[in-house]
Amino acid sequence: MESSLPSTQILDYGESAERKNEAKNYNEVMYALPKVKGLRGNDYYLYQGFWYSSFFLEGLMSVQEHFNPQSTDIILASSPKTGTTWLKALTFAILTRSRLSGSTYSSLLTKMPHDCVPFLEFHLAQNPSNRDLAIPLLSTHGRKGCFCFFVVLFSAHQMSENVEPLPLEEAFEMFCNGISILGPYWDHVLGYWRASLEFPEKILFLTYEEMKKDTAAHVKKLAEFMGCSFTLEEEEGRGGAKDNKHVKGEIGDWANHMTPEMGARLDDIMEQKLKGSGLKLPR
């Protein structure tokens, strides 16, 4: 039987017979996995306990096979729509600030944060050399896998996004049943949370809500965790930490998209799933 999966969507294998064979193997693995219709009508595949689109899963399998983490790597881990762009901008600006002098401008002025901090499952899946080795920042939407240094971002409610063609009510029901990209969401969060308790020196666990409320304190915490603390002079001149064009999510904005009953149900599910873990819903 021929696979009904679309052809390779992420990886540019060129003419390499070895890489083309890898793509075929990944498709064969996906073909055998349980699947459901996802939020945009595309298929989600259940792989190692989590749901992935074919676009993401192929890159993930490639990374699992080929990625060799360095001891200095700092990996930003987050679920989609929980503040990833902002976290990338902050960490990149903090880590590269010593390079800026005179007429040297930050790359963030001309590039998006996603171009400054490569995704494991996209940029490095295409080519392991798609990174600047002088900047140890990488990012992932996947679950924990290797013991580099992780900065993890969690939000109580994923930020809203239009997900045609499914109606919001149907998409919400799927989310509550654990079916979402990289879902179940609570399992994704709890995996990193528990790891942060076991390896606090390697994993910094943050919440979007707390970062939004006190950005300056969290910028300082990020710098300390990444081993590039601010000097007293820098701290005195760091008054604009809250001004960031990448901060689009508003705390409580879910109320503009969901009913109070939907919000209460989601809170109940999250509280039940997080019960006994020590992790509390940020408010």
The secondary structure of 243-277 as a DSSP string is --TT--PPTTGGGGTS-HHHHHHHHHHHHHHHTTS
Which of the residues 141, 157, 188, 218 is marked catalytic?
141
Residue 19 burial by CB count (10 A; 0-12/13-18/19+): exposed, middle or buried? middle
d(CA 168, CA 185): 17
Please, is 265 exposed, middle or buried when counting C-beta atoms within 10 Å of its C-beta (0-12, 13-18, 19+)? middle
| Alpha carbon distance 3, 107 (integer Å) | 42
CA distance 239 to 234: 10
Of the candidates 156, 194, 158, 174, which has an alpha carbon nearest to the alpha carbon of residue 51?
A: 174
Q: How far apart are CA 48 and CA 184, in angstroms?
A: 12
∠ CA(200), CA(81), CA(71), 5° rounding?
35
Indicate the SS3 state at residue 144: coil
**What type of residue is 146?**
C
Whether 141 sits among the annotated catalytic residues: the reply is yes
CA distance 55 to 108: 27
Is there a contact between 256 and 266 (Cβ–Cβ < 8 Å)? no
Catalogue the active-site residues: 141
